[in-house]
Structure 1
C-alpha cells in the first residue's frame, strides 16, 4: 500500500510507487489518496490550486504502477480521526504487507501521526517504509515547488520535477472569434476554478485532441491570460495550432502541454502591433519546438 495526497503525481510520487513495487513484485500496489485536498475542506481560503484533477491523478498513478487506487473522501469528520482510527479505518481493512510513504508523511487529527507512529501502530501487522524526497538539480521535489514554478511561468522547471510536461486539459468552448478574424484561430479552454495554470503570457507547446486515441500532438503557440488588448475579463488558455485554420475543435476534449515560456502578456494599442507580435510568437514557437523535438 502507498499512501499520500499525490497532487501532480510528480517524480517523487513515482519513486514511492517504484519502491513499493520493488518490495513485493508479486503483489499488487494499492494507492490510497484523498479527495478533495484537505485544505479545501479545512481552510478553503488557503487551499492550494491543484496540479491535477482526480481523474487525471488516478490515471497518472496507474501509469506509474498502481494496480488499484482507493480514494478516501476527505471530510471534516475524517480530519478528526486519531492516528489509531486512521489505521483501523483505512489501512487495516486492506491487509497490506508493506505500507510505503514519503519521509514527511503525517496523518491523523492535526497531523499528529508521523512515520514512527505508523511503524508503532503497524507492529506485527505490516512493515513501514519511508522514502526520502527526490531531488532535482539540488531542489527537493514537491507539489508546492511545481506550483511556485508555474506561478513564475517557469514551465521548464515544473516539467523537470513532474517528470513530464505540465498539461491543461478540458473541452473547447467558443471564444470571441477574434483569433480567427486575425488569421490565428484558437482553441479556448476556460481556466477551471481551483486549478493551477502557468502565469499569464505566451508559451510554446503542443495540442492533442483526446477524442482520438491515434491523434498526434500538434505544434502550438499558447496564450494564458485575459486578453487585455480587448479588455478581456475571463482568464483562458487559448491555443493556436501552427499553420492550421481547418481544425474544428468546439466541444472536443483536448490536452495542452507547455514546453517553454516565450514572453509575458502585453497590452497592444492597435491590431497591427498585435499581429506583428503574434507572427513573431509563431516563429519563436517553431524554433523552441524544433529544439525540443531534437532534444
Structure 2
C-alpha cells in the first residue's frame, strides 16, 4: 500500500492508474467501514482497476467545533493506528486528506474536481450517509451531478448487527461504558490501545502483581474504569493478562486527569520498560473499587486473574494486528 498525504494547498500527484475509491472518515475501521472498502475491492477486481481508500485527518469536530481540539478529541483509531487497520483491507493506495478550514469551506464541486478526478477515479463507493463539501451539501445523491458522468458510484446501505446500526458513535459508547465485547462485535476485532511501557509507582511489585504502566501514544477512547481481560503485544508476542483502568482509589484520594492503564501479564517477569505495546480488550470483569486494605485488594486481584484466564480461554486466537 502506498500512502499519500494530500492538502488543499497542493496539487494531486499525476500518473495514477484507473482506480475504484472508497470514501469515508473510517474511525475504528469497523465492520460497516469494511463493507464499504470490500465493496470497492470487488468492483476494482471486476474492472481490473487499482483499489484506493480516502480518509481525512483530523476529525472534522477539531476544525468545526469551538469546544474541541486535538488534545481532547478521542479516537477509536488515531491516524497511525487507522492507517494500519486500513492497510489490512488490502488497498493499493491510501489517501489521507488534511481536514482544515480551507478544506471545510470548499464547495462540493471543488472537492470532486480537486480530489477525485485527478486520481483517475472510475468508480466511488461510500456509505449512504457520506457527505462532502461545505456544510456537507454534497451527498451520494448529488455525486453523479458533480462527477459530470466521469465515474460511477455505489452506495453502501446501513450495515446492522442484531438490528443496531454499526457506527463509530456506537462503538465509542460501548467502549466508554466498558462493554468491550459489544465493541469487539462491531469492530470485527478486539478494541485496542497502543502505547509505551513507562515506569510507574512500582506498587504492584510490592503486592505480588507487577504491572506494565501504559502511556498512550495518542488520544484514544478509554474504557470506563475497571478490570478487563486483555492480550498485550510486546516483543513480537501476544501475551495474556488482566488490565486495570482507573485512579487507584485504594492508594490515592485524588484522581489524575486521565485514568491509568496498567497490565498484569500472566507468568511473565521481563523488563519491558520503553517497549511499544498494543493492548487488546476482551471482557469486562468488574468496576473499579476502593478496598480497605492492600490485603483485600490482593485477594480480589487473585480472583480477577482467574476470571481473566477463564475469559481469554474462550478466545484462543490471538489478534491479527500488532
After TM superposition, give the deviation of residue 123 of structure 1 in Å: 3.1
Conserved 8 A contact 1:190-1:235: no
Give distance in 2, aligned partners of 1:285 and 1:224: 14
Deviations 1:213-236 (A, max 9, x none): xx3311100111121212152522
Matches within 5 A, 1:49-198: 49-191=74-216, 194-198=219-223
1:216 correspondence with 2:241:
no
After TM superposition, give the deviation of residue 133 of structure 1 in Å: 2.1
After TM superposition, give the deviation of residue 102 of structure 1 in Å: 0.5
Give the corresponding residue for 1:10. Answer: 30
Of Structure 1 and Structure 2, the greater strand share is in 2
After TM superposition, give the deviation of residue 45 of structure 1 in Å: 2.2
1:236 correspondence with 2:230:
no
Give distance in 2, aligned partners of 1:76 and 1:229: 46
Give distance in 2, aligned partners of 1:70 and 1:4: 11
SS, match of residue 38 in structure 2: helix
Give the corresponding residue for 1:272. Answer: 295
Give the corresponding residue for 1:260. Answer: 283
Change (3 A) 1:83 1:62: same
Change (3 A) 1:164 1:117: same
Residues matched between the structures, number? 290
After TM superposition, give the deviation of residue 293 of structure 1 in Å: 2.2
Deviations 1:15-53 (A, max 9, x none): 111111111212121111111111011115257521011
TM-score by length of 2: 0.86
Give distance in 2, aligned partners of 1:193 and 1:35: 14
Give the corresponding residue for 1:23. Answer: 43
The root-mean-square deviation of aligned C-alpha atoms, in Å, is 1.6
Conserved 8 A contact 2:23-2:53: yes
SS, match of residue 292 in structure 1: coil
Any gaps of 5 or more consecutive residues in structure 1? none
Give distance in 2, aligned partners of 1:62 and 1:125: 27
Give distance in 1, aligned partners of 2:35 and 2:215: 33
Deviations 1:144-199 (A, max 9, x none): 00000011100000000000000011111111100111111111113566420111
Give the corresponding residue for 1:35. Answer: 57
Change (3 A) 1:194 1:55: closer
Any gaps of 5 or more consecutive residues in structure 2? 1-20, 318-322
TM-score by length of 1: 0.94
Give distance in 2, aligned partners of 1:143 and 1:113: 21
Give distance in 2, aligned partners of 1:8 and 1:221: 23
Change (3 A) 1:165 1:23: same
SS, match of residue 19 in structure 1: helix
Deviations 1:214-263 (A, max 9, x none): x331110011112121215252210001122x121110001110010000
Give distance in 1, aligned partners of 2:314 and 2:94: 37
